[in-house]
């Protein structure tokens, strides 16, 4: 059920630095109004003035943009317009006398009106928010919470295998009903994408059909859904099919942030497919096109390192570790044996969720000579012992504190954990897996079994 686990981790993030191709100064707005009062036990003056509401987003690594600002009058009333570039969820901070009294996340969508009524000091507990977009979003959240519970049951094996497909179809249809009932809203788009994503590997033909309908209305997909579809086309139509789908999305993109993310998808796909020369060409173009975006340049710098030293087909860097059993191990000593090396924190929730999967992989592929090495960052002996108090040590574990963590992070260009590298018997990299990309490891493992059987 790894696809369900993956879906529970999907998040739909607003890219703060987005801008359109035309790049107008102001593109969309929402009117926000309401009344905020103060509990008499806190202040019996009945003067509710100068309560501040502000919404800011980070536009790059050094600058933030103010989308909305308002102050209440003596009776606590306020009103104003928030200006933004595209619909999404934005935080609004409420403060009085320089003290933050609450933070609320609102959907900003063009042409909407948001009404907020609340009382301090319990702002979040008393806040009542009404607007078309936020009301629809509440509907989407109710559906999403209900499906999350069902997905947890599926992951726990509490729903029979025969019933899983029926549940997926049912909840996909429920999500799609929200999409159809509230056309054009931000929440409808999210609900439609949820409907699409959960169909992967259960009903791919319906997934593709609904994707076409959603793109017809919104012209874009959020990153999680986009990656699900790219994975589908790569599996069904190969690399060229996935690239055609990426080109289609690029042609439809109306925001520069979408263009940027799609280009990242393209470069990552070429990188993972060992098309390093093509990836390098697109990366050079990417650097020129998004040179003013600090976040884009930071990603490009990391990817340049990957292309030079860590691409599939390149030799894996030599690393040596002292192991918990008292021995030492160098990756160079594994010549002739494929291995999976995983760098993680033992308290990482995703790593813990994936641990049973790693056990299954080891039990199957050790027959093909596969070794596994776990390198725990930020751990000590008590943490290690606690982690394995209810888990078996089946493979090599690096002794905490016996290795230079900064060196490992630097030489492997680590930005997230868990990160894993699958290396073949010749010591060359098959692929790197970051976070949930581990779900795709079976294809890489099949290469190992093929190589071993030759």
Domain range list for the chain: 2-14+135-310, 28-130, 320-453
Give the global pTM: 0.80
203-232 mean pLDDT: 96
| Sheet with 371-376: strands ordered across | 396-397, 371-376, 339-344, 419-423, 429-434
The rounded distance, in Å, linking the Cα atoms of 17 and 54 is: 18
The mean pLDDT value for 243-269 works out to 95
Residues of the chain above pLDDT 90, percent:
78
- The residue with tokens 């109710």 is 142
- Architecture of domain 2-14+135-310 in this structure: Alpha Horseshoe (1.25)
pLDDT digits 0-9 by tens, 279-310: 999 999 999 999 999 889 999 999 999 999 99
The length of the chain in residues reads 454
Cα angle value 225/231/236 (rounded, 5°): 125
CA dist 29 → 20, 21, 143, 172 (Å): 15, 18, 28, 32
Average confidence (pLDDT) over 79-88: 95
What is the per-residue pLDDT across 391-410, written as a single tens digit (0 to 9) for each? 999 999 999 999 999 999 99
pLDDT of residue 91: 96
Q: How many CB atoms lie within 10 A of CB 85?
A: 25
Q: Assign residue 412 a region (left: φ > 0; alpha: ψ between -120 and 50; beta: otherwise).
A: alpha
Average pLDDT over residues 140-152: 95
pLDDT tens track for 150-180: 998 987 888 888 899 899 999 999 999 999 9
Local structure of residue 351 (DSSP, 8 states): H
Q: Where are the beta strands (DSSP E) in 109-237?
A: 113-120, 128-130
Instruction: Identify the three-state secondary structure at position 51.
Output: coil
* Mean pLDDT along residues 88-98: 95
Q: What does the mean pLDDT of the chain come to?
A: 90
pLDDT of residue 454: 53
What DSSP assignment string belongs to 273-340? TT-HHHHHHHHHHHHHHTTT-HHHHHHHHHHHHIIIIISTTSBPPP-EEEBTTS-EEEGGGGTTS-EE
CATH class of 28-130: mainly beta
In DSSP terms, 37 is beta-bridged to 119
Average pLDDT, integer, range 9-22: 33
pLDDT of residue 453: 58
Q: What is the model's pLDDT at position 23?
A: 44
Cα dihedral angle (307, 312, 313, 316), rounded to 10 degrees?
Answer: 80
Looking at domain 320-453, which CATH architecture does it have?
3-Layer(aba) Sandwich (3.40)
Q: What is the pLDDT of residue 216?
A: 96
Q: What is the pLDDT of residue 233?
A: 95
């Amino acid at each position: 059920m790894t696809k369900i686990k993956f879906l529970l981790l999907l998040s739909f993030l607003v890219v703060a630095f987005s801008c359109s191709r035309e790049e107008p100064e102001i593109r969309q707005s929402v009117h926000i109004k309401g009344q905020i009062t103060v509990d008499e036990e806190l202040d019996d003056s009945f003067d509710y003035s100068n309560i501040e509401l502000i919404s800011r987003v980070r536009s790059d690594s050094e600058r933030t943009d103010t989308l909305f600002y308002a102050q209440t009058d003596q009776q606590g009333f306020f009103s104003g317009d928030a200006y933004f570039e595209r619909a999404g969820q934005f935080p609004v901070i409420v403060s009085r006398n320089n003290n933050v009294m609450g933070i609320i996340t609102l959907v900003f969508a063009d042409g909407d009106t948001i009404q907020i009524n609340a009382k301090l000091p319990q702002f979040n507990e008393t806040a009542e928010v009404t607007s078309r977009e936020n009301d629809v979003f509440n509907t989407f959240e109710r559906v999403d919470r209900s499906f999350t519970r069902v997905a947890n049951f599926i992951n726990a094996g509490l729903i029979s295998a025969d019933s899983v497909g029926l549940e997926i179809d049912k909840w996909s249809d429920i999500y799609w009903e929200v999409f159809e009932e509230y056309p054009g809203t931000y929440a409808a788009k999210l609900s439609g994408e949820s409907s699409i994503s959960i169909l992967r590997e259960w009903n791919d033909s319906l997934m593709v059909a609904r994707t076409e309908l959603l793109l017809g209305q919104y012209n874009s997909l959020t990153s999680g859904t986009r990656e699900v579809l790219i994975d589908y086309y790569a599996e069904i139509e190969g690399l060229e099919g996935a690239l055609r789908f990426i080109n289609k999305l690029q042609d439809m993109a109306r925001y520069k942030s979408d263009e940027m993310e799609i280009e990242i998808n393209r470069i990552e796909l070429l990188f993972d497919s060992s098309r390093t020369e093509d990836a390098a060409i697109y990366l050079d173009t990417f650097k020129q096109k998004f040179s003013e975006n600090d976040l884009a340049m930071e990603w490009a710098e990391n990817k340049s390192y990957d292309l030079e030293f860590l691409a599939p087909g390149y030799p894996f860097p030599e690393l040596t570790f002292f192991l918990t059993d008292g021995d030492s191990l160098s990756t160079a000593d594994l010549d002739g044996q494929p291995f999976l090396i995983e760098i993680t924190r033992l308290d990482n929730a995703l790593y813990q969720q994936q641990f049973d999967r790693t056990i299954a992989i080891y039990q199957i592929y050790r027959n093909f000579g596969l070794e596994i090495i776990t390198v725990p960052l930020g751990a000590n002996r008590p943490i290690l012992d606690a982690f394995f108090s209810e888990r078996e040590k089946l493979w090599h574990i690096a002794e905490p504190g016996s290795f230079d963590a900064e060196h490992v992070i630097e030489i492997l260009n680590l930005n997230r954990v868990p990160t894993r590298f699958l290396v073949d018997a010749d010591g060359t990299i098959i692929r790197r897996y970051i976070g949930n990309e581990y779900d795709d490891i079976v294809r890489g493992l099949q290469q190992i079994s093929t190589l071993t059987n030759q």
